[in-house]
Amino acid sequence: MSEHGRWHRLRHVVTPHSHDSADKVDSAMESSREGLRALWISLLGLGVTAILQAVIVVFSGSVALLGDTLHNVADALTAVPLGIAFLLGRRAATRAYTYGFGRAEDLAGVIIVLVILGSAVLAGWTAVERLVNPAPMTHIPWVFAAGVIGFVGNEVVARYRIVIGRRIGSAALVADGLHARTDGFASLAVVLAAAGAWLGWSWADPVVGLAITTAIVVVLKDAAREVYHRLMDRVDPDLVDRAERELRRLDGVRDVSGLRLRWIGHRLHAETSIVVDAELSLVAAHEIAADAEHQLTHHVPRLSGVTVHVDPAGLAGDDRHVTLSHKLRGVAEPVD
- Which residues are CB-neighbours of 236 under 8 A, at least 6 positions away? none
For residue 333, the model assigns a pLDDT of 39
pLDDT in tens, the chain (336 residues): 444 444 343 333 333 333 333 333 334 445 667 777 887 888 888 888 888 888 887 776 566 676 677 667 766 777 778 788 878 887 888 899 888 888 888 888 888 888 878 877 877 787 787 778 877 767 788 888 888 888 888 888 889 888 888 887 777 778 778 878 877 877 877 887 788 878 887 777 777 777 777 877 887 888 889 889 988 989 889 989 999 999 999 989 999 988 999 988 778 889 999 999 988 888 998 999 999 998 898 888 888 889 899 989 875 444 444 444 444 444 433 334
For residue 313, the model assigns a pLDDT of 85
Q: What is the pTM of this model?
A: 0.69
Residue ranges of the chain assigned to CATH 3.30.70.1350 = 235-327
Residue type for 102, please? G
The CATH topology of domain 21-231 is Alpha-lytic protease prodomain-like (1.20.1510)
Residue ranges of the chain assigned to CATH 1.20.1510.10 = 21-231
End-to-end CA distance of the chain: 46
For residue 119, the model assigns a pLDDT of 75
Reduce the secondary structure of the chain to three states and give it as a string. Answer: CCHHHHHHHHHHHHCCCCCCHHHHHHHHHHHHHHHHHHHHHHHHHHHHHHHHHHHHHHHHCCHHHHHHHHHHHHHHCCHHHHHHHHHHHCCCCCCCCCCCCCCHHHHHHHHHHHHHHHHHHHHHHHHHHHHHCCCCCCCHHHHHHHHHHHHHHHHHHHHHHHHHHHHHCCHHHHHHHHHHHHHHHHHHHHHHHHHHHHCCCCCHHHHHHHHHHHHHHHHHHHHHHHHHHHHCCCCCHHHHHHHHHHHHCCCCCCEEEEEEEEEECCEEEEEEEEEECCCCCHHHHHHHHHHHHHHHHHHCCCEEEEEEEEEECCCCHHHCCCCEEEECCCCCCCCC
For residue 204, the model assigns a pLDDT of 74
Whether 284 and 299 have beta carbons less than 8 Å apart is answered as no
Report helix angle 140-168 to 171-198, nearest 10: 160
Whether 158 and 180 have beta carbons less than 8 Å apart is answered as yes
Cβ-based neighbour number of residue 8 at 10 Å: 16
Distance (Å) of CA 216 to CA 117, 161, 184, 192, 223 = 8, 17, 10, 16, 10
For residue 62, the model assigns a pLDDT of 65
CA dihedral in degrees (203, 150, 77, 57; nearest 10)?
A: -70
Statement: 235-327 belongs to CATH 3.30.70.1350? yes
Q: Residue 184, Cα to own-chain centre: how many angstroms?
A: 20
- The arrangement of strands across the sheet holding 255-264 comes to 255-264, 267-276, 303-312, 324-327
